[in-house]
A and B are shown apart, each in its own frame.
Chain A
Amino acid sequence: MNKKELKALLTDWRVATLIILVVLSVIAINPHFDEQGNLTTNLQYGLDLQQGAWIQLEFQAEVVGFTTDRPLEEFLTDLSRNLDVEVVQVDSNHLEIRKYYSQADLEQVFIAAGGKITSYQPGVSKTTAEDVKRILENKINTLGTKDAKVNTLTGLNNVARYIRVELAGVDMKQAQEIVGKQGKFEIRIQTTGNQTEHVLSGETITSVQVPSQEPPGSDKWGVSFTLSDSGATAFRAAAIKYGATADPANHNLIMLLDNTTVYSAPLSEDLAGKLQSEDIRQLFASTGTGKYGSQQATNLEIHLRAGALPVDVTIAGSGGVTAPLGERYKMTAILAGICALIAVGFVIYYRYREPVIVLPMVLINASEIVILLGFISLVNFQMDLPTIAGLIAVLGTGIDQLVIITDEILHEGKVPSPNLYLKRLSRALGIIVVAAATVVIAMLPLVLMDLQALRGFAIITILGVLVGVLITRPAYGRIIMQILSK
């Protein structure tokens, strides 16, 4: 190949596109040495390739369709009272029951309240799922864990039954401690003796300040927090009803996190007086003096901030990979990819016996993987084991299609004239496009469905096929023509 031909080849748009994309991909992957002198890249790894843990939670709630002849307001109040649980209206004919009940149990309660159940689905509405997601994210951030991902798994009908939390860099035990505690926060008030009554749940707390001294500069610590309007109204009503405003000393305010008392103290005289006449939104919970008081205040702050999940959850699954095992998986996966490429090279060489054909084939095949990796780093996609299996599968289909092109062009062993060449190339591309379309269609259900880990595999496979059909195959066609015309 002389200089002129090489230049013509490199400036051909198909070949140029391929080269530019490979260069851009390498920049995106950005292989470099970190401070310790280890080779690193921009690629992000999923939980099975680094230390991390995942926990899947199942909502203890259900969304039911309903009809009733009664006025909606009354019906809902009755339901909520009979079930002793919060009932939230999702839309005009769906309710979210925030506690687990079997369909049969609910049917009876609905009939008793003058209504009927038309559908039953375990889970919560999309809005509630998003709330839970936000609360969990906040909670994890407060506890100082980096690299957390929270995903709701929303099924058909917009009902979410599961939520998945992924925590990088922690082991499973820590993860269970962080997430497993549900942070269901509740304020109760002491009525008579040891009896208490529910006043507020964590959702009514709209903001929490950092621990402070009250009065400022003193050694008395506490946390101030703000209630929502409705929360403040409910708080005042309960305080008056149970006599806490008249006799604060005998009516402690109790805060519970997951049914464990985290705070119990009477209302201050000052607050009790004010509550008689107006709603108070800004409250201050004092925790004591000195270091102990300050420490307690910090804990209370976390509890208040962590807020409540509006719905109880149970652990539906969990898992974790330790750091050495993640490293081992990563090495194995990289090795598997390299070995696969070498194995493919050998078979191709066995078949064509021509380094000038084998080399471009293997290089094109490798370039496809590089482009995919570039894309993966660009969109911050997390590589996990199924994704790597997908990459190796792409390697396999990729080389298949290069074989189709080569054989189609080399038909009957003669090197074709340019016209015939183009005809054969387009025929080969025709076969490839159909084959590619079937792979894309076969993988599509996995992208659309929530089969978790498989989504990565499916997206990579589809992308791989597209990169192949749109970029690398046409470029290969051009390169192989140049080589064969020698």
Chain B
Amino acid sequence: MGLFNYNIEKYSPKQLVILPLVILAVSVILLALNMATTGMPVTPGIDFSGGTAVTIFSTDTKEQLQSTFAGYPLDDISEGVNDGYFLKFGAMDDTEFRSLSALIYQKFPDARVDQIGETFGKTLQSQAVLALIFSFIGMSIVVFLSFRTFVPSGAVVLSAFADIVMTAAVMNIVGIPLSLGTLAALLMLIGYSVDSDILLTNRVLKRQGKLNDKLAGAFHTGIIMTSTTFAAITAMFIVAWFGSVLILIEIAAVLLIGLVFDVMNTWLTNVGILKWYVLKGGGK
């Protein structure tokens, strides 16, 4: 595989982990800042905060649409391809919502409208946070049970944690809200990210041979795994983009961001810690 020429043996454990640690620290700070200003580490979408999401197809310009919906609390318009538009509205009472949906269906017959009440969103929000925490704890338990040594297991869990945190930080930066879809993607990421970590740890701890050979072998396999997943999700992203299917676009985008960080966290963070652990005499 000639795409990546990455020589793990060249670097010391300290050199390996420094970059991801800095990024992790920055990400945590960004999430904390967001938490301080909005009350949630990741900006919640309408699934969690309430509001109305509308997908329409129209040849109108953004400005024309803005004037069409001038009487309603239009928060945001984003443009897709093929004349697709994604609109977001703030809270409305029932009468206002009914008049809005009547207007939408009259002007744009093949629209999609989803309206979530604020209280329901709040109920989901707390469940979402719980789901993330339970998932993470569950994953950690499985990892610890399978390796039964603290440092390697901790490295896997830390890498997964870093994946989620960094991805969440980037979601804030590029403006992907936390929706039911992106929550699912974050949970999926927990699964994806440990895949290559487990492969790496397994190869290094349970195989015979020279450390650097084992690392290179694991990298060879691991990077192809991530590439295939990346290819599958990229395909989904592009098709969903052309079809203007917002939920698939968001899921794919979060997975792609996460996979990039996963490469870094597996082959810098996890490798770094594991190398330090083996050089110190552990794992023999």
Contacts and interface: CB of A to CB of B under 8 A. Distances in A.
Contact of A385 (B185, B233, B245): B245
B114 interface: yes
A347 B97 CA distance: 48
Interface stretch (A15-23, A289-297, A326-334): A326-334
Contacts of A427: 202, 206
B191 interface: yes
Interface in B158-196: 180-181, 183-185, 187-188, 190-192, 194-196
Interface in B207-263: 217, 220-221, 224-225, 227-229, 231-236, 238-240, 242-245, 247-248, 251-252, 255
Contacts of A341: 232
Nearest to B94: A315
A411 B199 CA distance: 14
Given A319-B112, A339-B235, A343-B231, 9 more contacts: A322-B105, A336-B235, A389-B252, A396-B232, A400-B196, A431-B199, A444-B134, A445-B130, A445-B134
B55 interface: yes
A434 B105 CA distance: 49
B58 interface: no
A454 B232 contact: no
Interface stretch (A73-81, A169-177, A276-284): A169-177
Interface of A: 48, 56, 58, 155, 161-162, 171-173, 176, 314-325, 328-329, 331-333, 335-336, 339-344, 346-348, 350-351, 385-386, 388-390, 392-393, 395-397, 399-401, 403-404, 407-408, 411, 427, 430-431, 434-435, 437-439, 441-446, 449-454, 457-458, 461
Contacts of A328: 110, 243
Contacts of A454: 180, 183-184
Closest 5 CB pairs of A and B: A332-B243, A439-B191, A319-B114, A441-B138, A316-B117
The dominant DSSP class at the B interface is helix
A12 to B, nearest CB: 26
A275 B147 CA distance: 80
B120 A386 contact: no
A446 to B, nearest CB: 6
A452 B48 CA distance: 13
B128 interface: yes
Contacts of A335: 239, 243
A19 B31 CA distance: 49
Contacts of B191: 397, 435, 438-439, 442-443, 461
Contacts of A446: 131, 135, 184, 187
A485 B138 CA distance: 40
Interface residues of B, number: 77
A404 B248 contact: no
Contacts of B199: 404, 431, 435
Nearest to B128: A451
Contact of B247 (A171, A324, A389, A399): A389
A350 B3 CA distance: 10
A439 B240 CA distance: 24
B244 to A, nearest CB: 8
A386 B184 contact: yes
11 contacts: A56-B117, A58-B120, A318-B115, A322-B112, A331-B243, A347-B231, A390-B184, A439-B191, A451-B124, A461-B188, A461-B191
Contact of A322 (B109, B128, B190, B194): B109
B139 A438 contact: yes
Contact of A173 (B105, B135, B146, B236): B105
B220 A407 contact: yes
B113 interface: yes
Nearest to B137: A441
Given A319-B114, A386-B180, A451-B180, A443 B233 contact: no
Contact of B224 (A56, A161, A347): A347
B232 A172 contact: no
B98 interface: yes
B156 to A, nearest CB: 9
A453 B180 CA distance: 8
Contact of B225 (A343, A385, A404, A452): A404
Given A386-B184, A389-B184, A435-B198, A442 B190 contact: yes
A346 B236 contact: no
Given A171-B105, A452-B180, A403 B224 contact: yes
A420 to B, nearest CB: 13
Contacts of A48: 112, 247
Contacts of A444: 134-135, 138
B149 interface: no
Contact of A449 (B127, B146, B225, B251): B127
A161 B123 contact: yes
Given A314-B94, A404-B221, A325 B232 contact: no
A346 B115 CA distance: 41
B102 interface: yes
B248 A385 contact: yes
B225 A403 contact: yes
Nearest to B117: A316
Query: Which of B138, B194, B231 lies at the interface centre, i.e. has the most chain A CB atoms within 10 A of its CB?
Result: B231
Contacts of A316: 116-117, 119-120
Contacts of A321: 112
Nearest to B194: A438
A478 to B, nearest CB: 20
B219 to A, nearest CB: 11
Contact of A343 (B102, B111, B198, B232): B232
Contacts of B224: 347-348, 351, 403, 407
B142 A322 contact: no
Given A339-B239, A441-B135, A446-B131, A325 B110 contact: yes
B192 A396 contact: yes
Nearest to A320: B113
Nearest to A461: B188
Interface string B14-31: 000000000000000000
Contacts of B155: none
Contact of A325 (B1, B111, B123, B206): B111
Contacts of A325: 55, 110-112
A319 B89 CA distance: 13
